[in-house]
Amino acid sequence: MHASKCLVTGCAGFVGGHLCEKLLAMGHTVAGVDNFFSGHRRNMASFADHPGFRFYETCVTRTDELAKILAGDVPVRVCFHLAAVVSVAWSMDHPDRTMEVNHRASQRLHALCREQNLSTFVFAGSAAEYGETGQAAIKEEAAGPGTVQLSPYGRAKYLTTSLVEQSGYGASLRCFNIYGPRQDPASPYSGVISRFCMQALAGEPVTIFGDGGQTRDFIHVADVVRAYLLAAGLDDSADPPGTPLHGAFNVGRGESTSILELASIIAELAGSRSEPRFFPPRPGDIRHSLADAGKLAAATGFKPVTAMRPGLADTVAWMRVGAAGQS
C-alpha cells in the first residue's frame, strides 16, 4: 500500500490514540494534534517515540497552527478530525465553546484541507446528531434541517456533518457508543462500559441511571478504527480499495444491549459480586439508540468483527492491569 502522511486531531484521545497506533503500524506517517483538554499522554504511550509520529500540542481552534502543520516539508494527504468537546453533559453548560470547537473550528479545518488538496477529510460525527427519532434502527436520513438535537454537542456535530455532506468533500462517521481499552473510566462523563468495568473490579456497586432498560448500540474501538481507514480510502481490504467515501455514515453493530444486561455481563467477566445501585435517570438520556449501519456496509463491505462478550472481556482485562497504572 502507498504510505500517506495523515493528520490526526485528538491524537491523545481514546479513539484518536488507537487510530494513530494503527496508521503507524500500517506504515503511514502521522502528525498528531491535541491540547489535552480531555486527552491523555498515556493514550500516546505506545507510539509517542515512533519515528513516523510527530506531536503538536495545540488547540484545533488555532487554524493558523493547523495550516502550518498541513503545509509541512511533506504535505499531509489525509485529515482525520477527531478533536472535539467530547462530553454531551459538558456541552450543556458550555454551548458557545462547544459550537466554536465542534463546529466553527471544524468548518475552518475542512476548508483548509480542501484548499490544500488533501485527498480527504474524515470527521468524527456522532449518533447524538439524531436527537430522539422514535425509530427502531436509525438511518442517516433521520437527521435533517428540522432535527432537534438534545445537546449543543449533538447540534454542533450535526452542523459540521451537514457541511461535509453538502460540500461533496470528505466523510463524517456517526459513531454510536464506542468502548474498549484506554477509555477513561475516571470522569463523571465517562462511558458506561468503562465505569461499570472499574466499579465491578473494585467490588463497588454499579451505578445505573434510571431502570436500566435503556439500550445502546456498542461498538469496539478496533472496529471503529477500521471504519475510519475505510472512510479515508486507506484500507486494503476495502472493495474497491483506496476510494475515500463521501457523506455521512453510521458506525455501529446494529445490535441493542440494555444497560442491565451490560451490568450483568461485566460483573460476570470481572468475577465480581457487585450489585446494581439505581439512581434517577440522567436528564436528556435517550431511551433507545440503535444504528442502521447498512449504508457503510453497502459502500465498503464493512462488518464489525468484535462481538460484545469478547470485546467486553478485552476491556475488563485491560482495566485490570492498564487502568491501575494510569497517570
SS3 46: coil
129-188 binders of ligand UD2 (CB under 6 A): 177-178
Which residue blocks in 168-293 are alpha helix, DSSP H? Answer: 192-201, 221-232, 259-270
Count of residues that bind ligand UD2 according to CB under 6 A? 20
- Return d(Cα 295, Cα 281) in angstroms, integer: 32
285 binds ligand UD2 (CB under 6 A): yes
275 binds ligand UD2 (CB under 6 A): no
153 annotated active-site: yes
Binding ligand UD2 (rule: CB under 6 A), the pick from 105, 128, 137, 299 is 128
Beta pairing partners, 54:
31
Kindly tell me which of 116 and 284 has the beta carbon lying closer to ligand UD2: 284
209 binds ligand UD2 (CB under 6 A): yes
- Return d(Cα 282, Cα 89) in angstroms, integer: 10
Kindly tell me which of 88 and 316 has the beta carbon lying closer to ligand UD2: 88
Residues in contact with ligand UD2, shown as a per-residue x/- string from 297 to 316 under the rule CB under 6 A: --------------------
Beta pairing partners, 121:
79
Is-contact 48 23, C-beta < 8 A? no
Grid coordinates given for 73: 516539508
Is-contact 47 6, C-beta < 8 A? no
Kindly tell me which of 106 and 289 has the beta carbon lying closer to ligand UD2: 289
Q: Which of 153, 158, 179, 228 is catalytic?
A: 153
Of 244, 311, 301, 249, the C-alpha closest to 124 is 249
Is-contact 18 225, C-beta < 8 A? yes
80-99 binders of ligand UD2 (CB under 6 A): 86, 88
Range in contact with ligand UD2 (rule: CB under 6 A) among 4-12, 37-45, 57-65, 207-215: 207-215
Which residue blocks in 168-307 are alpha helix, DSSP H? Answer: 192-201, 221-232, 259-270, 294-300
23-62 binders of ligand UD2 (CB under 6 A): none
- Return d(Cα 204, Cα 174) in angstroms, integer: 33
Kindly tell me which of 121 and 218 has the beta carbon lying closer to ligand UD2: 218
208 binds ligand UD2 (CB under 6 A): yes
Binding site for ligand UD2 (CB under 6 A): 86, 88, 126-128, 177-178, 191-192, 195, 207-209, 214, 216, 259, 282, 285-286, 289
